[in-house]
Amino acid sequence: MKRTIVLFTAAVMLAMGFWSEAYAQDRAVKFGVDIHAGLGIDELSHYSVGADIICAWQANNYVQLGAGAGYLRTDALVSMGMGGEYRTEYKGFDGIRLFVREKASLFDGRVSPFVWFDEGGTIGLKRSGARIGRQATQLFFEPGAGVDFQLKGGSRISVSLGYLSQHTSYSSYTIAKDGKSMLDDTRMTDFMGQLTLHVGVMF
């Protein structure tokens, strides 16, 4: 897993460096900012908020390929206890997102609907003073659809909805009859699901 993340990170950084160098010669290379928030649709998370910087190559009037890096904060499940009662504990985790993005516009115009797909990994950051320091690096994918609007000067602002599916881990245990002891503490992994709202601008 660590080797995969290192290779993926290196690929993203090389791609962003290449596109940055190409920008001076090719205006088809775009830069943008994407702000997003998510609402958990299962018990594995409550919400997430974040922001990304994106570098993309406009292959033609309809297809855009890019890479991004950003920050994500997720309020995620860290433990679940079952037995005489049901207990859950959530913690806020900070992470750095690295991903690739494919975007396809349905037609070329000042107002254009589009679909997009992100896939990548979120590298967990350690939080000092927290009982559970950080989530490990987690893979994610996120499809979505939206509409973008052309502004003066050629920039475009976009609004879209997506579905974020991100790998996560938590502790599952059985509550003893005394209500205090934890039995059969097991580390579980799953994919959390969130509905997301994105607002972005590309220059």
Domain-wise residue ranges, the chain = 2-202
List the one residue out of 28, 27, 46 whose CA is nearest residue 37.
46
Q: What is the mean pLDDT of residues 90-112?
A: 93
Using the predicted structure, report yes or no on whether residue 178 has a pLDDT greater than 70. no
pLDDT band per the 50, 70, 90 thresholds, residue 103: very high
Fold of 2-202: Porin (2.40.160)
Taking the alpha carbons at both ends of the chain, their separation in whole angstroms is 35
What's the pTM?
0.81
| pLDDT for res 152 | 85
Write out pLDDT tens, residues 25-84.
445 889 999 999 999 999 999 999 999 999 999 888 899 999 999 999 999 998 888 766
3-state secondary structure 94-135: EEEEEEEEEEEECCCCCEEEEEEEEEEEEEECCCCCCCCCCC
Q: What is the mean pLDDT of residues 145-162?
A: 94
| pLDDT for res 158 | 97
